[in-house]
């Protein structure tokens, strides 16, 4: 899967609520929670990538994948899945740093509400 460059700067809360099956009033809470809880996970993931700690990569990419998937941040989900699977397989030649940066860049386009 190629590295993706999504832009989540214009999230349609109504569509997201419908896709998730929640009321629209819950969407800002979930987005803010994602924005608050993901940075510490990214820090630990980055450390795992630097150390080539594959179990760390797998676990923390999985956490981001789950949160992103729940909110229908599909590109973040897909890139996190690639990181998780690469970590699970201990792929030495995978572009871990590039995927991590792409995930960070994608998250940076999400605005707190």
Q: What structural domains and CATH numbers belong to the chain?
A: 28-108 (1.20.120.160)
Q: What is the mean pLDDT of residues 14-25?
A: 96
- Its pTM stands at 0.94
pLDDT reported for residue 46 = 98
Q: Is the pLDDT of residue 113 over 90?
A: no
DSSP the chain: --------SS--HHHHHHHHTS-GGGHHHHHHHHHHHHHHHHHHHHHHHHHT-HHHHHHHHHHHHHHHHHTT-HHHHHHHHHHHHHHHTT-TTS-HHHHHHHHHHHHHTPPP-
Q: Is the pLDDT of residue 2 over 90?
A: no
Distance CA 40, CA 66 (A): 15
Q: Is the pLDDT of residue 45 over 80?
A: yes
pLDDT reported for residue 99 = 97
């Amino acid at each position: 899967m190629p590295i993706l460059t999504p832009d989540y700067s214009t999230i349609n809360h109504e569509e997201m609520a419908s896709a998730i099956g929640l009321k629209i009033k819950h969407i800002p809470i979930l987005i803010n929670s994602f924005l608050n809880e993901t940075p510490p996970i990214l820090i630990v993931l980055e450390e795992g990538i630097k150390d080539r700690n594959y179990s760390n990569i797998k676990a923390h990419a999985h956490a981001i994948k789950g949160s992103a998937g729940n909110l229908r941040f599909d590109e973040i989900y897909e890139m996190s899945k690639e990181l998780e699977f690469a970590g699970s397989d201990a792929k030495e030649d995978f572009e871990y740093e590039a995927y991590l940066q792409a995930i960070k860049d994608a998250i940076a386009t999400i605005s707190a509400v």
